[in-house]
Structure 1
Amino acid sequence: MQRLGELEASVMDVLWDAAEPLRVRQVLEAINRNRDLAYTTVMTVLDNLHRKEWVEREMENRAYRYRAVATREEATAQSLRELLDASEDRESVLLHFARSVTEEESDILRRALRRKPGKR
């Protein structure tokens, strides 16, 4: 997955918070609570997100309905994986990360590693 720009992230936040797929107009209304964007701008962003495989769309009547391909948590984990894969020194990155986590986050990681079925 490619990284998101600021506007793309705003659109994804709307889709992640939605209980069902949304039309462009619905995304626009949600975003325009905090800013003033044109319909065509949001439509272009959604088209770009579709091309980047962040969203799926299906035609309903004569308008597309959009939904996120992955949850916010899955997308975040994928981004972390890509950053780690791009590193020349994974051990150093992981050690720096491990020093930055809270005690609660450390406990979560320990539990997850104990139940991990196999290596990646």
Structure 2
Amino acid sequence: QELARTTVATLLARLHEKGAVGRTPGRRGFLYFAVDDAHGLTAQRMHRELDQDDDRSTVLARFVERLSPD
């Protein structure tokens, strides 16, 4: 099933607002591109989560404590 053009445009606009994609003006709208690799996007999500708590150091320390050795 094909997605509507407006659905794709809305999705890309939301990804742009979240910083997951960049965009540059094109002939008929915008050209979108990835701003980071998968690891960078994961780091962005982690930053957003850390920003939700006043005690970022404790949250990050507890996260690291729970990491598996592999």
TM-score range, shorter chain: 0.5 to 0.7
How many equivalent pairs are there?
68
The 3-state SS of whatever aligns with 2:51 is helix
Compare relative contact order (CA 8 Å, sep 6+) and give the higher one, 1 or 2: 1
In the TM superposition, residue 47 of structure 1 has moved relative to its aligned partner by: 2.5
> Structure 1 runs of 4+ off > 4 angstroms?
none
What CA distance in whole angstroms lies between the structure 2 residues aligned with 1:86 and 1:65?
Answer: 32
AA aligned to 2:31 is: R
Partner of 2:68: 102
Match of 2:6, SS state, is helix
Q: Which runs of 5+ in 1 are unaligned?
A: 1-31, 105-120
TM-score of the two chains, using structure 2 as the length reference: 0.63
3-state SS, counterpart of residue 67 of structure 1: strand
The letter for the 1-side match of 2:28 is R
Q: How well do the aligned residues superpose, as a CA RMSD in angstroms?
A: 2.5
Which residue does the alignment assign to 1:57? Answer: 23
Whether 1:92 aligns to 2:63 is no
Shift of 1:86: 3.0
- 1:35-54 pair list within 5 angstroms: 36-50=2-16, 52=17, 53-54=19-20
Q: Distance in 2 between matches of 1:38 and 1:57?
A: 20
Change (3 A) 1:37 1:93: same
Instruction: Please give the secondary structure, in 2, of the residue aligned with 1:103.
Output: coil
Structure 2 residues not aligned, in runs of 5+: none
How much identity, in percent, do the aligned residues show? 37
Which has a greater percent of strand?
2
Normalised by the size of structure 1, how large is the TM-score? 0.43
